[in-house]
Amino acid sequence: MQVAIGGHTFLVEGDVVQCMLQGDFTAQHARELFVLLEQVQADEGSFVILADISQMGTIDAAARRWMALESRRFACRATAMYGASLPARTVITLLLRSLALFRPTLMPLHFAKTEQEARLWLEAQRPAQQIG
């Protein structure tokens, strides 16, 4: 299933939510994305995120606040991102640290250079997740 939200594209492949972020990410985009994530979680039980952030702009403050408060209801097992610039990695790392304040456990996060590397890392997370 492929969904467009603003200029962003999301492709759901089983329990993998692939995000192609292009341009700025707003609170409205976050709300629409979370509707999609609710559907994936209902279908799959949990999910992983594979994100191409090479074309991502900024994440506005309202989106960061909303995601921090609302993300605790999701069972995201891991996130792998690729194509990130240093400033993007810094912003995302800070965002995920703020999300950790509202989540009982930290989800694994990996920044990869390529999509293939990101996918391989996500696959490597599966055995550890299935044991616990």
Strands 47-59 and 16-25: parallel
Give per-residue pLDDT as tens, 57-71: 888 889 988 887 888
pLDDT in the model for residue 32 = 96
For residue 5, give the 3-state DSSP assignment: strand
Cβ of 114: how many Cβ atoms within 10 Å? Answer: 11
The predicted model scores a pTM of: 0.84
CA 15 – CA 99 distance, rounded (Å): 21
Contact 117, 52 (CB under 8 A): no
Give per-residue pLDDT as tens, 106-126: 678 889 999 999 999 999 987
Q: Please, which pLDDT band fits residue 132 given cuts at 50, 70 and 90?
A: very low
